[in-house]
Amino acid sequence: MIQSLLAQGFQMMLVLAVAPLVIGIIRKVKARLSRRIGPSIFQPYRDLIRLARKDTVVAHNASWLFLVAPYIVFAAIWVAAALVPTYALGLIFSWSADIIVIVGLLALARFFLALAGLDVGTAFGGIGTSREMMISSLAEPAMLMIVFTLSLLAQSTQLSSIAHYMMTADVGLRVSCGLALLGLVMVTIAENGRVPVDNPATHLELTMVHEAMILEYSGRHLALIELAAALKLTLYLSMLTCVFLPWGIALNGAKLPVLGLGVLIYLIKITVASAVLAAFEVTVAKMRVFRVVDFLNFALMLGLLATLLLFVSRSI
């Protein structure tokens, strides 16, 4: 019991520690690819510490909701991240909730962030919130369709069981898996506000989505929200790697050296995934907000197609 709690606690600390590094690696790779030196990969940690030390300034007309929202957002995303297998399968928390709960927790976080964006009553908060809601209302069906495909394939909605099935069973090379992978990558890009959908590096008022919602935050509140955003990206990358590249994850009840190897392989996978995401981001241009609808419709369509083709190939 103590051991499994320790393993789970280590996993939660690991994702928390890795999250700013993911952002740092992405920024570094993007900078290098555009022939700049770029800040160190540890810069996000320094930024977070700096923000946490600063005073917080709160608008006069902000309600209590504005003050508690960062904590709720951070907590919901952290709990969701604890449910995704990283270095080992079947940790103690992962049996209590499945992938649909993860989607639900992320939706909860988004709901409170949107409320906080509207709370102060500035124009930017409203614009950001309405755009975020538009994007998420399209991304969530796509995400759920992909979840259905994976759970039909693995006969389970438990992320640990899906990863275990992908690792051990005779899955073969399935076109449904390819489509689900592509769809999940598109959802990841949209949900985390990465480049073709939103640009996390600018504060240009015409285009910003996530940055517009959190414009009124400062100090430790901002630090919490930034950390939560990094954590969410790490969560999605971990989910992608544990489902589609499950090799090297320690199995249920593995010994300590195997767990250590699992941590190492997890770190390598996350680093590679961040670098690939960064390389993709420098090759595409940001799309207009109204084209995001088409982008996410395509992701939804991929999910539907994956389910449909699964029906064909399962009959063999």
Residues within the interface to other proteins (CB under 8 A): 166-167, 170-176, 178-179, 293-294, 297-298, 301-302, 304-305, 308-309, 311-313, 315-316
> What six digits make up the tokens of 121?
């009553």
CB nearer to other proteins: pick between 173 and 256? 173
CB nearer to other proteins: pick between 13 and 175? 175
Neighbour-count burial of 31, counting CB atoms closer than 10 A to its CB (0-12 exposed, 13-18 middle, 19+ buried): middle
Shortest Cβ distance from residue 144 to other proteins (Å)?
16
Shortest Cβ distance from residue 161 to other proteins (Å)?
16
Shortest Cβ distance from residue 98 to other proteins (Å)?
23
Shortest Cβ distance from residue 300 to other proteins (Å)?
8
For residues 76-111, one letter each, b for 16 or more C-beta atoms within 10 angstroms of the residue's C-beta and e for the rest, the string is bbbbbbbbbbbbbbbbbbbeebbbeebbebbebbbb
Give the DSSP letter of residue 92: G
CB nearer to other proteins: pick between 252 and 297? 297
Q: Which residues pair with 250 in a beta bridge?
A: 88
CB nearer to other proteins: pick between 17 and 171? 171
The CA angle 256-157-108, to the nearest 5 degrees, is: 95
CB nearer to other proteins: pick between 171 and 282? 171
Shortest Cβ distance from residue 289 to other proteins (Å)?
16
3 state DSSP class of 155:
coil
- How far is it, in rounded angstroms, from Cα 229 to Cα 129? 15
